Amino acid sequence: MSLLAQDPATGNQLAACGAEWLPGEPLGRHTSLGVGGPADIVRLRDSRRLPDLMEFLRRRDLRWRVLGGGTNLLVVDEGLPEVLIHLRRGEPIRFDGNHAQVPASANLGTTVMECARRNLGGLEGLIGVPGSVGGALRMNAGAYGTEIGASVRALNIYRGSAGKVETLKTQNVRFEYRHTSFAPDDILLSVLLELPERPYEQILQGVKLCNQKRRASQPIHEKSAGCIFKNPAGLSTGKMIDELGLKGTRVGGAVVSERHANFLVNRYQATASDFLKLMDLIRERVLKAYGVELEEEVIVWRG
């Protein structure tokens, strides 16, 4: 499924926008779950060129989505009819006192450590959360009492509705539990974080503690997308799935992790359909036993 392949000049035109074209790329290679059919990826090295790329896609009447780190994403086996815009890593973090201007393309864990080296803490809990800063912002990623939204002071975004880059103050964004008020066609470009000053050693202690907890309770060495379902208010989804005896349950190559029941892992060359079936099974069992409807935490791109 390559939307852009019909026109041989596509590669050159995208290069003129500062973008690299990867036609029909199997998304299993770009997601931590390791599943998903093909789609065209367009990689942008310099996010300042995004308006040019968006204009190119608009002229061609092409639909698009943004691919971040692919670590909280389940893509269907059939692949996707949209072009996937990917902001390439490499732009630097800029520091000014206790503020860090971080590109959305930056890796979250690397960002936590770069800030730590500048004696800027407050992000320790996020150390083991895989993925990009942009993805973490969109989902308001959190762990061990830290949510990224709490440190955000301003954001640069490309507003799909307006077709231009805007700076948003935090007051104009809602950061909730694994949910934000960004529109689907907002593309996050960079964020201004305000972080408390702390000695590096102290930050490192916090980081080590979170890493230990994560290693002890999550299957960090297997292919997963983190927690598959959100926790309903006051309840723990992992605990409910565990109590139902579903750990180790397998559909095709997808398995409910024995380490943490809200993690589904790709252990035997699973397909996306295996994961979707396993998710349905869990949803049904939890609904029947607890009367609770589980909400997906993983983003599912159904095409």
Q: Which is nearer to ligand EPU, 45 or 285 (CB)?
A: 285
Alpha carbon separation from 144 to 1, 74, 235 (Å, rounded): 41, 24, 16
- 206 DSSP 8-state letter: H
Q: Does 230 bind ligand EPU (CB under 6 A)?
A: yes
Q: Does 25 bind ligand EPU (CB under 6 A)?
A: no
Q: Does 260 bind ligand EPU (CB under 6 A)?
A: yes
Q: Which is nearer to ligand EPU, 159 or 259 (CB)?
A: 259
**Smallest gap, in angstroms, from Cβ of residue 80 to ligand EPU?**
22
Q: Which is nearest to 188 in space by CA: 159, 146, 149?
A: 159
Helix%, strand%, coil% for the chain, nearest 5: 30, 30, 40
Q: Which is nearer to ligand EPU, 40 or 297 (CB)?
A: 297
Q: According to CB under 6 A, which one of 54, 156, 297, 301 is a site residue for ligand EPU?
A: 297
**Smallest gap, in angstroms, from Cβ of residue 107 to ligand EPU?**
16
Is 244 in a helix, a strand, or coil? coil
Q: Does 212 bind ligand EPU (CB under 6 A)?
A: no
Strands of the sheet with 64-66, listed across from one edge: 19-26, 38-44, 83-87, 64-66
User: Nearest residue to ligand EPU, using CB?
Assistant: 226
Q: Which one-letter amino acid corresponds to residue 124? A: E
Q: Does 226 bind ligand EPU (CB under 6 A)?
A: yes
Q: According to CB under 6 A, which one of 52, 77, 222, 242 is a site residue for ligand EPU?
A: 242
**Which one of 3-11, 14-22, 48-56, 229-237 is the stretch in contact with ligand EPU (CB under 6 A)?**
229-237
User: How far apart (Å, rounded) are the C-alpha atoms in residues 195 and 179?
Assistant: 22
Positions that interact with ligand EPU (CB under 6 A): 143-144, 217, 226-227, 230-231, 236, 238-239, 242, 260-262, 297
